[in-house]
Amino acid sequence: MSGFSLSDLERIVEERAKASADESWTAKLVAGGQPKAAKKLGEEAIEAVMAAVTNDRDNLIYEAADVLYHLMVVLKIAEIPLENVMTELARRTAQSGLKEKASRRNS
Ligand SMILES: N=c1c2ncn([C@@H]3O[C@H](COP(=O)(O)OP(=O)(O)OP(=O)(O)O)[C@@H](O)[C@H]3O)c2ncn1[C@@H]1O[C@H](COP(=O)(O)O)[C@@H](O)[C@H]1O
């Protein structure tokens, strides 16, 4: 166990967003605005998908880390605290994903 959490990453992103864009990738992404940052998240997600479908375990771990980091940057730009996402996930624990999907189909 690394002991490192998404909350730690959120704090780092929050802090580094204030740095100069010359010395921080985070600050550069934030300064570039949401369309660019979201596009980067999409690219990293596609790289993770490719690693998954090719059973490239090591690369999937690497790309998943890229996805989580870039998602944290996108959430930061959107001013959505990680806590809001965790609250939504917690709400979903009340129901199975399959049941939730079926309830949407019936509505
Ligand atoms: N976790 C990350 C993190 N993950 C990925 N990246 C950067 O995201 C960029 C991804 O860009 P690219 O896809 O072009 O890079 P790549 O994947 O190597 O390139 P390809 O081969 O895929 O084209 C790289 O520059 C990575 O270094 C990250 N940059 C920062 N962090 C965290 O943010 C902290 C602060 O970083 P700075 O903001 O740069 O100070 C770091 O200490 C880390 O904790």
At 49-81, the pLDDT tens digits run 999 999 999 999 999 999 999 999 999 999 999
Place of tokens 């996805």: 67
Range of the domain at 23: 6-106
Q: What angle do CA 85, 70, 96 make, to 5 degrees?
A: 35
Nearest residue (CA) to ligand 1, atom 6: 66
What CATH number is given to the structural domain containing 27? 1.10.287.1080
ipTM for the assembly: 0.88
Q: Ligand 1 centre and the CA of 9: distance in Å?
A: 12
Residue 1 falls inside a structural domain:
no
In 3D space, the residue among 107, 81, 103 whose CA is nearest the CA of residue 9 turns out to be: 81
Kindly give the distance from the C-alpha atom of residue 89 to the centroid of ligand 1, in angstroms, as a whole number: 26
pLDDT score, position 43: 98
CA–CA distance, 84 with 14 (Å, rounded to integer): 16
Q: Is residue 21 part of a domain?
A: yes
For residue 107, is pLDDT > 70?
Answer: no
If one counts the domains in the chain, the total is 1
Element (H, E) at 33: none
Number of Cβ atoms within 10 Å of the Cβ of 29: 25
